[in-house]
Amino acid sequence: MKQWRIIMGMPVIVEIIDRSASESIMGRVFDYFTWVDQTFSTFKPDSEISKINDGRVKLEHASGEMRQIFALAEQTKQEANGYFDIVTNDGKYDPSGIVKGWAIWQAATMLANAGFSNFYVEAGGDIQVQGSGGEGAGWKVGIKNPFNVQEIVKVVYVKNNEGIATSGTYERGAHIYNPKNRRREPSDIVSITVVGPNIYEADRFATAAFAMGREGIGFIDHLNGFAGYAIDRNRQATMTRQFDYYTHP
């Protein structure tokens, strides 16, 4: 069973291979993503994050999920040497760089806890897999050409219940900045794809690595359990030492 919705301004796709898949579990997953959007969207004036930004809600009085996101953001900032920050140029909070991967991971955990073994959850191109896609080799995922999104430049096989995330400017425009130089948007690379132990980990480090520019792929290369593939503005690709593992079934 495969279904999709537009939530958080992006396509959210769920496919469950198990025969026990039902409309009920699909509805629960999409309802969860709707709740995430209503809670964390900076574009919704009545979302919890907007209320925090407007001073209507103090962070210490925020929901447990909100405080968890802030804690995870601070952890990522430390682990990425300052190249991750949810504070924007105008002093507001924007946790979108960490919420999407976290939400996908929570939704996948919901499906696993419901007894499903073979599925994937995708939001805006970032994917968490579980089990097999039917070919016995994990799930086959294509990496888009940032200069021609109709073209797939690399196929990877995401295995062992891992996650894959891509950060770049080719679909959403410039939305990631260098926290260490807020006047300068990263321009050395146009996309970086990261495979990690789960989508939450892959997503947060893909965002940080993109903010690093050309140095980002080296950062991913030194992370244990991660692999990366970056494309620069000259259309040259660079991959980590671990990446080749994912190019074979």
Tokens 């690093």: give the residue. 212
Please return the burial class of 183, using the count of CB atoms within 10 Å of its CB with bins 0-12, 13-18 and 19+: exposed
pLDDT number for residue 153: 96
- Between the two ends of the chain, the Cα-to-Cα distance in Å is 23
Using alpha carbons only, give the angle 156, 189, 238 rounded to the nearest 5 degrees: 45
Q: 115 with 187: CB under 8 angstroms?
A: no
pLDDT number for residue 217: 97
Q: What is the DSSP letter of 140?
A: E
Q: How far apart are CA 186 and CA 167, in angstroms?
A: 11
Domain boundaries, the chain: 2-247
Amino acid identity of residue 139, one-letter, is: W
- 125 torsion bin: left (phi>0), alpha (psi -120 to 50), beta (else): left
- CATH fold group of domain 2-247: T-fold (3.10.520)
* Number of continuous H segments (helices) and E segments (strands) in the chain: 6, 10
pLDDT number for residue 133: 80
pLDDT number for residue 212: 92
Using alpha carbons only, give the angle 200, 105, 240 rounded to the nearest 5 degrees: 35
pLDDT number for residue 130: 95
Continuous H helices in 80-196 = 96-113
Helix (H) or strand (E) holding 29: helix 23-40
pLDDT one digit per residue (tens) for the chain, 249 residues: 999 999 999 999 999 999 999 999 999 999 999 999 999 999 999 999 999 999 999 999 999 999 999 999 999 999 999 999 999 989 999 999 999 999 999 999 999 999 999 999 999 999 999 998 866 678 999 999 999 999 999 999 998 899 999 998 755 544 455 565 555 555 689 999 999 999 999 999 999 999 999 999 999 999 999 999 999 999 999 999 999 999 988
The neighbour count for residue 88, using CB atoms within 10 Å, is: 14
pLDDT number for residue 173: 43
Helix (H) or strand (E) holding 232: strand 227-232
The neighbour count for residue 111, using CB atoms within 10 Å, is: 24
